[in-house]
Amino acid sequence: MKLYGTVTSPYVRRVRVVAQEVGEDVELVDTFTEAGQAALRAASPIWKVPTAELDGVVLFDSHSIVDALLERRGRGALRPVAADQRWAESNFHHVVDGALDALINVFYLAKDGVSPDEASYLAKQRDRAAASLRWIEGALRGAYVTEQPTLGVTEIALLTSLEWMQFRHAYPVETHPGLVAFLAAHAERPSVASTRPG
C-alpha cells in the first residue's frame, strides 16, 4: 500500500498499526516534504492525510483505508465488530474522532498564534475534547472497548489518539487514570511500539 502522510499524524498511525496487524507493507510518501505534499494534493482533493492507494484504488480517509485493508487482507488477530455491538462501537469511534479533531484544531491554531482564550469556538473545541475523553473513560471496559479482551480498530483509534495528545502536549491525559491504564495495557504490542512518534 502506498500511504501519504507523516509519522506524527495520529490518523496516519491508525492505518500503520492496522496495516502491520494484517501484514500489509507500507510505502510512506512523507507529506512533510514539498514533493510529498504536491503528491498528496494530486491524489486527494481534500489534501488530508492519510490518503492511500491500495490495489489501484485511492482512498481519502482513515476509516475507508482501514475498512479496505480489513476487507482485502483479512483481520489478522484483530477483534471483529460483533453485530449487536455495531452501533455502540460506531458511537465510540466517533467520540474518539470528535476529541481528536477538536484538539487538532486547537493545536494548529495555537501554531498560528490563536489560543482558546481568544476565540470562543476554540474554547468549545477544548471543552468538547474534555467531555469526550471523560465519556470514553467511563465507557471503557478496562483496557478494551467491549467485554471481549481483544484489540480492535476502535482501541487502535483510541490509543493512537491519546498518544498523539501526550506527544503534542495537547491534553492532560494523565488526569484520567482509566485512560492511562488503557495505554499501559497496549504499550508493548509490536504494532503499537514500532509506530510510536518521537
Interacting residues with ligand GSH (CB under 6 A): 9-11, 47-50, 61-63, 104
Cα separation of 19 and 25, whole Å?
7
User: Shortest distance, CB of residue 149 to ligand GSH, whole angstroms?
Assistant: 26
Q: How far apart are CA 126 and CA 120, in angstroms?
A: 10
Report the nearest approach of ligand GSH to the CB of residue 2 (Å): 15
> For ligand GSH, which is the closer residue by CB, 51 or 146?
51
Q: Rounded to the nearest 5°, which phi and psi values hold at 38?
A: -65, -40
Query: CB 93 → ligand GSH: shortest distance, Å?
Result: 10
What cell was used for 113? 498564534
Residue 132 identity (one-letter amino acid): S
Closer to ligand GSH by CB, 30 or 143: give it. Answer: 30
Does residue 16 contact residue 3 with C-beta atoms inside 8 Å? yes
CB nearer to ligand GSH: give 10 or 152: 10
- Give CA–CA dist 138/102, Å, rounded: 20
What minimum distance in Å lies between the beta carbon of 50 and ligand GSH?
6
CA–CA distance, 167 with 1 (Å, rounded to integer):
26
Question: In terms of CB distance, is 85 or 105 closer to ligand GSH?
Answer: 105
Q: Which residue has the cell 484538539?
A: 103
Beta strand 57-59 pairing with 51-54: antiparallel
In this structure, what C-alpha cell is assigned to residue 95? 467520540
Contact (CB, 8 A) for 43 and 4:
yes
Q: Which is nearer to ligand GSH, 107 or 185 (CB)?
A: 107
Q: Which is nearer to ligand GSH, 63 or 134 (CB)?
A: 63
Q: What is the smallest separation between the CB atom of 54 and ligand GSH, expressed in angstroms?
A: 14
Nearest distance from C-beta of residue 44 to ligand GSH, angstroms: 9
